[in-house]
Structure 1
Amino acid sequence: MEIAEIQPQLVQEFSKILSSKKLSHAYLFSGGFGNFELAIWLSQAIFCETPGVLPCLKCRACRLIAKGEYADLHLISPDGMMIKTAQIKALTEVFSESGYESNRKVIIIQEADKMHPNAANALLKSIEEPERDSYIFLLTQNENLILPTILSRTQVIKFPKQTPYFKSVLEQNGILPTQAELLCQLTDSIDDAIKMAQTSWFSEGLNKCFQFVKLMKSDPDDAFLYLSALTETFDDKARQQVLFDLLIQLFYQEKWTKKIEKTFEATTMWQHNVRFESCLNYIVLESEKD
């Protein structure tokens, strides 16, 4: 998928920035819908071997960058659950050295919100005192999780979710419209949405969610008994988060404001280590009072 299709407005804006040679040295791309693709496209523009403002996408540099294999492009992502201080400190050597292919260097830090505070502070100097022809792209789905000192020193670019495009791509990949609509709300990544839709647990779990909501409308007692079916499918942390997100979307479709509020509260309880089953009980028991 080309970035011009995913975020046409941002591509147009950055085309003007490239034409005027006013690309800043540090950006924070907020919102996961196409932020990595745009960072790659800008990296291609920076290193492209074909004369012109925009990347040709065909030269050696553009092709290597598309694969993440270009020597002067440095991709940083979490090592386990976080981006560690050692990973960021290693970048100081990158900034101090000459580039292998040119004088330019590009750093793309994925899931920048997962930087350890010490790692974020280590990055500050490179942002505050940038080396010439060095560019940093920080990517996050939620800018509120980024340290204020980082936010204040970068240009923040918001990436709106292009829901109609997102939904159409999912449907072109054989995903049912009802599933596609829900998946658009669950993730900002088209690839992740397609992978999720192709798993047996998601299809099974979605059907159980529909049944659960139906029971909550007709008979909360039966809904309470049905909780074991949900916990059987949504049996780990990642899947349990999906369940809460699905319930919120389904309640939203039904315009059940009270149930949406209770599901948000149950999610917060779960995030604070209250047992998953107890959190689901809370939703059902409270719904009896609606």
Structure 2
Amino acid sequence: MKIDEIQPQLLNEFKMVLAHHHLSHAYLFSGGFGSYEMALWLSQAIFCEQPMDALPCGHCRTCRLIEQEEFADLHLVEPDGQMIKTGQVRALSEVFSESGFEGKSKVIIIREADKMHQNAANALLKSIEEPENDTYIFLISQNENLVLPTILSRTQVIKFPKNIEYFRNTLEKNGILRTQAELLAQVTDSIEAALKIGQSSWFNEGYNKCLQEIKLLKSSPADAFLYLSALTDTFDDKERQKILFDLLIHLFYQEKWIDKIQKTFKAVKMWQANVRLESCLNYIVMESE
């Protein structure tokens, strides 16, 4: 995805930030639509050998290496399995304490930051609170509501709204029906993932089951508990289960069901901590006291 096509407004805002040399040392990019691409573009701006008005040229050796995720002073952290573990974050201590290999600056990008174990998040706090002058941290999360408040309070949060029209049009150009493209644009953050899901038979079946679950929650909560097995039958692996939670959040938003939205966010954290899907869904369905 080209960042100038999917997030043109944010790109212009960051161009102004760079022009005035006001780039902060710790950001949390909330929303997956172009946030990682923006972090890479800003990394190019920091390291570029031939910047033009503080903007990256995109062609020098450094810019090319960053685009390929192979630059020595760019450090990427991703979940190991379902979690970013404490050891992964503690391993960054050398990065924070030492100079860069090719210059003074260092950039750390932590993808899916909401999957940090609490101990890992705590290990990162000191580095965020007292950053080295030439260290930049970009935390990326699909939803800031899933990130620990202690992390949120120490970073500058930038929201990356979906460019729904761009998303939907791209899916339609690739053969996805308009109604399905509209839904996929709402519940996924990656065009590649949306295309893969849109070409599968289980998605429509799963969506219809989610609609039935919402209907039962409103009319017969006891039956809603029993119907959960229908959801677990269809959403039977981790990839599908993530889509399940996204569908439920989307439908609860449509219903303006705030309690269930909050419970679903909590259930996602439980699920990421390896609580069984059935238990997470039971928590969502359970009536508030």
Q: Do the two structures share a fold, i.e. TM-score over 0.5?
A: yes
- Correspondences of 1:101-120 after superposition (within 5 Å): 101-120=102-121
2:185 maps to which residue?
A: 184
Deviation at 1:134, TM superposition (A): 0.9
**Percent of counterpart pairs with the same letter?**
64
Q: Which residue of 2 aligns with 1:167?
A: 168
Per the normalisation by structure 1, the TM-score is 0.77
In structure 1, C-alpha distance between the alignment counterparts of 2:45 and 2:236, rounded to whole Å: 44
Q: CA deviation at 1:195?
A: 2.1
8 Å CA contact 1:47–1:62 kept in 2: the answer is yes
How many residues end up aligned between the 2 structures?
Answer: 269
Checking the alignment, whether the CA contact within 8 Å between 2:29 and 2:157 is kept in structure 1 is yes
Deviations, residues 62-91 of structure 1 (Å, cap 9, x unaligned) = 111111111100000111121111111111
Residue deviations 1:51-71, cap 9 Å, x none? 321111111111111111111
> Per-residue deviation at 1:244?
6.3
**8 Å CA contact retained: 2:27, 2:139:** yes
Which ranges of structure 1 fall in alignment gaps of 5 or more residues? 283-290
Which residues in structure 2 correspond to 1:33-182 (within 5 Å)?
A: 33-52=33-52, 53-182=54-183
Task: Give the Cα–Cα distance (whole angstroms) in 2 for the partners of residues 111 and 245 of structure 1.
Answer: 15
CA contact (8 A) 1:43 1:65 kept: yes
Question: Counterparts of 1:15-26 in structure 2 under 5 Å?
Answer: 15-26=15-26
Instruction: Say if 1:83 and 1:116, in contact at 8 Å, map to a contact too.
Output: yes
Residue 5 (structure 1) shift:
1.0
- Match in the other structure for 1:288: none
Alpha-carbon distance in structure 2 between the residues aligned to 1:4 and 1:169? 15
1:32, 1:189 within 8 Å by CA — same for their partners in 2? yes
8 Å contact kept, 1:209–1:246: no
Q: What secondary structure, in the 3-state scheme, does the structure 1 residue paired with 2:83 have?
A: coil
Could you list the runs of 5+ residues in structure 2 that have no partner in the other structure? none
**How far off is 1:234 after superposition?**
3.4
Aligned to 2:243: 242
Secondary structure class of the residue paired with 2:107: strand
Q: How far did residue 112 of structure 1 move?
A: 0.9
3-state SS in 2 of match to 1:29: strand
Q: Give, in angstroms, the shift of residue 231 of structure 1.
A: 5.9
Equivalent-residue separation in structure 1 for 2:86 and 2:231 (angstroms): 39
Q: Distance in 2 between matches of 1:261 and 1:13?
A: 32
CA distance in 2, matches of 1:7, 1:160: 8
Q: Take 1:127 and 1:252, find their aligned partners in 2: how far apart are those partners?
A: 33
Q: Measured at CA, do residues 55 and 205 of structure 1 come closer, stay the same or move farther in structure 2, by a change above 3 Å?
A: same
Deviations 1:12-40 (A, max 9, x none): 00000000111111111111211111101
Corresponding position of 1:287: none
> Structure 1, residues 149-193: CA drift from partner, whole Å, max 9, x if none?
222221111111211111111112221111111101111222221
Greater CA drift, 2-11 or 188-197: 188-197
Question: 2:91 aligns to what SS in structure 1?
Answer: helix
How far apart, CA to CA, are the structure 2 residues paired with 1:47 and 1:269? 40
CA-based RMSD: 3.6
In structure 1, distance between residues paired with 2:258 and 2:153 = 33
Instruction: Give the greater-gyration-radius structure (CA).
Output: 1
Could you say if the C-alpha distance between residues 178 and 18 of structure 1 is closer, same or farther in structure 2, counting changes exceeding 3 Å?
A: same
8 Å CA contact 1:182, 1:249 repeated in 2: no
**Which residue of the partner structure matches residue 12 of structure 1?**
12
Displacement, 1:200?
4.0
Tell me how far 1:111 sits from its aligned partner.
0.9
Deviation at 1:227, TM superposition (A): 9.2
**Paired position in structure 2 for 1:286:** none
Deviations 1:74-133 (Å, cap 9, x if unpaired)?
000111121111111111101222211221100000111111122111111211221121
Residues 1:232 and 1:143: Cα distance change in structure 2 (over 3 Å): closer
